[in-house]
Amino acid sequence: MRKGKSIVLLSVFLVLALAVAMLAGCGEAKEEKKEEVKVTTIQEGKLLMGSDTTYPPFESIDDKGEAVGFDVDIAKEIAERLGLELEVVSVKWEGIIPGLKTGDYDMVMSAMTITEERKMEIDFSDPYIDSDQSIAVRKGDTSIKSEADLAGKVVGVQVDTTGQFTAEEIPGIKEIRKYDTILMAFEDLELGRIDAIVNDLPVNAYISKTRGKTEVVATIKTDEKYGIGVKKGNTQLLEAINKVLAEMKKDGTYDAIYEKWFGKV
């Protein structure tokens, strides 16, 4: 009997030891997985994001002086999942790519459309949102309902954006007035200094809704896709960003952030 009991006790001990070893192995595997998403950044422990923070609802500065918006929330989630703290670096649009190339920040996220020209200068993540162009006018202005109605009109755009490039393809426009920020263009539109604005649809719609003095009257189909930009050759950060974006879309985090800023699809 004693011998039999000893054998049973030894078997139980071996099973418990194996279970402990397996749990320890799982813990190590998790740690290894965590290590895989770590990246080297300009400032240790931080993810620096260059952004033109005058482009709601993607990025803007609130009353507390803090950066807010769809892009900001997505970037915060990326930073957190990489074990980093997000820091938004406000920069003028025309200087955003040069700043990335000279190492002022780790990435750019600023409602930036992926274009072949930009891909020659920087690398882009997988697309994270789609967009088209649109036409915004003062409320009550019935003279403009389509691209053709822009003939003979003064049209505002943000400089060096796909809004400007789209407007330049529309025949008959009297003048394309270029602004440093889209908010400056809207101020002039509201005051009657320009007749219309050609700009990204989500932004035109959001500004018109929140300010209440303008409205979107037409969509110009351009099938644009926004991407997160990183310095050429920074494959470590690019792969990490793409991995997190895929995880966010799979686990519902992306949809929750989208609904917060744009409502349900």
The tens place of each residue's pLDDT in the chain, 265 residues long, gives 334 444 443 343 444 444 444 444 544 443 433 444 679 999 999 999 999 999 999 999 999 999 999 999 999 999 999 999 999 999 999 999 999 999 999 999 999 999 999 999 999 999 999 999 999 999 999 999 999 999 999 999 999 999 999 999 999 999 999 999 999 999 999 999 999 999 999 999 999 999 999 999 999 999 999 999 999 999 999 999 999 999 999 999 999 999 999 987 6
**The whole model's pTM is what?**
0.82
Domain 131-224 is in which class? alpha beta
Q: Which two tokens stand for residue 42?
A: 């300009």
Tell me if 115 sits within 8 A of 225, measured CB to CB. no
Q: Which two tokens stand for residue 252?
A: 């519902």
Dihedral angle sign, alpha carbons of residues 128, 132, 133, 135 = negative
- Name the residue with tokens 């604005």: 197
Domain 46-128+227-262 listed as CATH 3.40.190.10:
yes
Segments making up each domain of the chain, as ranges? 1-36, 46-128+227-262, 131-224
Do domains 46-128+227-262 and 131-224 share one topology? The answer is yes
